[in-house]
Amino acid sequence: MPHLDLPFDPTCCLIDGIWNKPFTQGTLELINPSNGQVLCHIARGSPADIDAAVRSSQAAFDGKWGHTSAVDRGRILSKLSSLVLENIEFLANLEALDVGKPLKQARADAVALARYMEFYGGAADKVHGETIPYQEGYTVYTLREAHGVTGHIVPWNYPMQIIGRSVGAALAMGNACVLKPAEEACLTALAFANFAIEAGLPKGALNIVPGLGPEAGAALCGHPGIQHMSFTGSVATGRQVQAAAAQNVIPVTLELGGKSPQLIFEDADVDAALPFLVKAGIQNAGQTCSASSRILVHKSRYKEVTNRMAELYNALVVRPAKEDGDIGPLISARQKAIVEGFLEKGSDLRLCAKGSLHSGAPKGGCYVLPHLFADVSADHALAQEEIFGPVQVIIPFETEAEAITIANGTDYGLVASIWARDGARQMRLAKKLRSGQVFLNNYGAGGGVELPFGGRGLSGHGREKGFEALYGFSSLKTIASYHG
């Protein structure tokens, strides 16, 4: 096991401002996906730790943190943003080791974390209510108030970005947060909590309990002290989180991934589209909720797009994270097996290109080569189900109506993009796509901390990012004063 120079003990939970071992003293192995070796041990938080964390957050909400003004909350988040920026290399190296993502991607994630803190730090004192014209003799206004203690369960694919958008917005609104990071990758979450202390966040405003989903995660979702749950991960777990929230009748935000399409029309600028078509599929080895796993191409451009995507795919080399290539390993042997299962299901398809593995990649790493399939029918499993690996399918279409039917023809609805020069077509089709975000002649708009994000259908509900997240992390109160 390599020696990790960490400014905190990863076998501890942070509860009430103190790093303590879990009540059970339990630990879990954290695996480096680039070589399959144990990276370190982390805390296996138990329901008792979750209970202590929720109580501590409630005390913070009733006490110092709950009485911190919006402007001061903003200042603490701004300080946190600066600390993250000063430690980009430390955080990026940790994330690359833990998640297996190439260093440049990990660096971009750390920058995004800082940007979330900057955005929500600046927004904290700008969430206004309204005055409402009402009957003679009344003055009516609304207030946006924190829920209280909010629960946050994040996955392993983008720990820093997802913590940024979820915990950042909740803290800005004055909630006290209990965070359960993923058991497969949680080191940057712990590092972030450590920076939060340094930034002056009062004890209990952010408690963090690593551990297994069915243990610590389930205990968090079902805890009666939680007043809002925010979850990013699989549909199956999302259903359990929502069922637990239903028992306590609390609001829940679910972000559950997708099967996001890019639509290439006959008038598309294919030169501009090409890098987006491939990058949106293989970034983070395809383990991205908004990955574009379906490429829909008009028949007139089909051969051209397929051939040019194949060229790019053939040049892709999968490497260990520290080699900073295009693609690293998948997160785990389990995720590798899931993706290989999909590749088997695709054995009847036309494989039009695949990448290669760097000769120096360690044997035990969780590597899967990127695969590009062409001539795929819209109802094939690989065109319907979320794969969460570096696999894209190309589907031909002839008319606008057919393109929309295929694009909307899965259970998901997270992101979609339209590549076309015809402005009327862009406007017409953007409205018809069943999707939380639609991009015109781009994909993802560079991440967009400011841009509301969330899904339809199995992609989930509720909106993260931008001001919408602040509304989600608050409860609206209407105050009607009768003064005659």
Among 370, 345, 364, 355, smallest CA distance to 285 is for 370
Instruction: Locate 382 and state its tokens.
Output: 């690989």
CB of 184 to ligand NAD, least distance (A): 6
- Other beta carbons less than 10 A from residue 223's beta carbon: 20
Catalytic residue among 40, 289, 352, 366: 289
211 phi and psi, to 5 degrees? 160, -175
Q: Any catalytic annotation for residue 255?
A: yes
Of 111-119, 152-160, 313-321, 444-452, which segment contacts ligand NAD by CB under 6 A?
A: 152-160
Name the closest residue to ligand NAD (Cβ).
Answer: 213
Q: Applying CB under 6 A, does 215 fall inside the site for ligand NAD?
A: no
205, 221, 285, 393: which one contacts ligand NAD (CB under 6 A)? 221
Q: Applying CB under 6 A, does 234 fall inside the site for ligand NAD?
A: yes
117, 163, 178, 256: which one contacts ligand NAD (CB under 6 A)? 256
Q: Applying CB under 6 A, does 273 fall inside the site for ligand NAD?
A: no
Rounded Cα–Cα distance for residues 30 and 38 (Å): 6
Nearer to ligand NAD, 142 or 234 (CB): 234
DSSP label at residue 51:
H
30, 178, 241, 250: which one contacts ligand NAD (CB under 6 A)? 241
CB of 386 to ligand NAD, least distance (A): 5
Nearer to ligand NAD, 320 or 389 (CB): 389
Label residue 360 exposed, middle or buried (CB < 10 Å: 0-12, 13-18, 19+).
exposed
Rounded Cα–Cα distance for residues 355 and 378 (Å): 24
Token pair 């990026």: residue: 92
Among 27, 60, 61, smallest CA distance to 216 is for 27
Rounded Cα–Cα distance for residues 273 and 60 (Å): 49
Nearer to ligand NAD, 301 or 336 (CB): 336
* Stretch 294-323: interaction string toward ligand NAD, x if CB under 6 A: ------------------------------
55 contacts: CB under 8 Å, gap ≥ 6: 225
Q: At what angle do helices 423-432 and 400-407 cross, to 10 degrees?
A: 30
Of 139-147, 214-222, 278-286, 475-483, which segment contacts ligand NAD by CB under 6 A?
A: 214-222
Nearer to ligand NAD, 124 or 153 (CB): 153
Nearer to ligand NAD, 54 or 352 (CB): 54
Q: Which residues in 371-410 contact ligand NAD (CB under 6 A)?
A: 386, 388
Rounded Cα–Cα distance for residues 211 and 467 (Å): 31
Q: Applying CB under 6 A, does 183 fall inside the site for ligand NAD?
A: yes
For 115-130, give one letter per residue: b (16+ CB within 10 A) or e: bbbbbbbebbeebeee
Q: Applying CB under 6 A, does 218 fall inside the site for ligand NAD?
A: yes
- Reading phi first (left if > 0) and then psi (alpha if -120 to 50, else beta), residue 441 is in left
- How many residues appear in the chain? 484
Q: Any catalytic annotation for residue 266?
A: no
| Residues designated catalytic | 255, 289
Binding residues for ligand NAD, rule: CB under 6 A, are 153-155, 157, 180, 182-183, 213-214, 217-218, 221, 232-234, 237, 240-241, 255-257, 289, 335, 338, 386, 388
